[in-house]
Amino acid sequence: MKNEENYKPVGEGSGKEAIEELRHEILSPLENDVQKLRDPLVLAALMHTAATERENTNRLLKTLIERLDTKFAEVDARLAAFEAGAINRASPREEEVLLPSVDEGILTFVKEKRYASAEEVRKKFGYKGKNAASSRLNRMFEMGLLEKRQVGRTVLYSAKKL
């Protein structure tokens, strides 16, 4: 058992005396603390502690604000880079071109072969004449999807290197 000597039963003596004694036991330490607070040295020590804590808090807040500013600057830089990339991607030169399925097939065929002539495209895709295949290849050349080179009497088309 803990020190039971420190504990006094409340019921000893009359009720008023016990209450007065209990009040005295509670208020006495508080009165001592109030007396200490009236001492200028204690007040100065408390004010010094409060000022020191405030300085520490301000230093921590300053550090946090600097870190947040750094992170916000990084986010702004990333957003700017992303927006610049989005603008570059949206330029007409790199804009995604939607092609008919036949033209996509021709483009895939030319990429696989590296070079293809209108005659080869005609045979592969079943055109009746060479002019239809040549016309499609020329239109894809004008769109910037293919490059063309004259080799003798034959025009060879190749996929454009991006």
pLDDT at residue 10 is higher than 80: no
By three-state DSSP, how is residue 151 classified? strand
For residue 69 the two structure tokens come to 């500013």
Which of 48, 159, 63 is closest to 113 using CA atoms? Answer: 159
CATH code matching the domain that covers 101-159, chosen among 3.40.190.10, 1.10.10.10, 3.20.20.80, 1.20.1530.20:
1.10.10.10
pLDDT in tens, 69-91: 999 999 988 888 888 776 655 55
Q: What is the pTM of this model?
A: 0.42
Place of tokens 């200490």: 36
pLDDT of residue 156: 92
pLDDT at residue 50 is higher than 90: yes
By three-state DSSP, how is residue 126 classified? coil
To the nearest 10°, report the CA torsion of 68, 73, 77, 83: 80
pLDDT in tens, 106-154: 999 999 999 999 999 999 999 888 888 999 999 999 888 899 999 889 9
pLDDT of residue 116: 92
Kindly state the DSSP code that residue 39 receives in the 8-state scheme.
S
pLDDT of residue 120: 93
154-159/146-151 β-pairing: antiparallel
**What's the whole-number average pLDDT of the chain?**
83
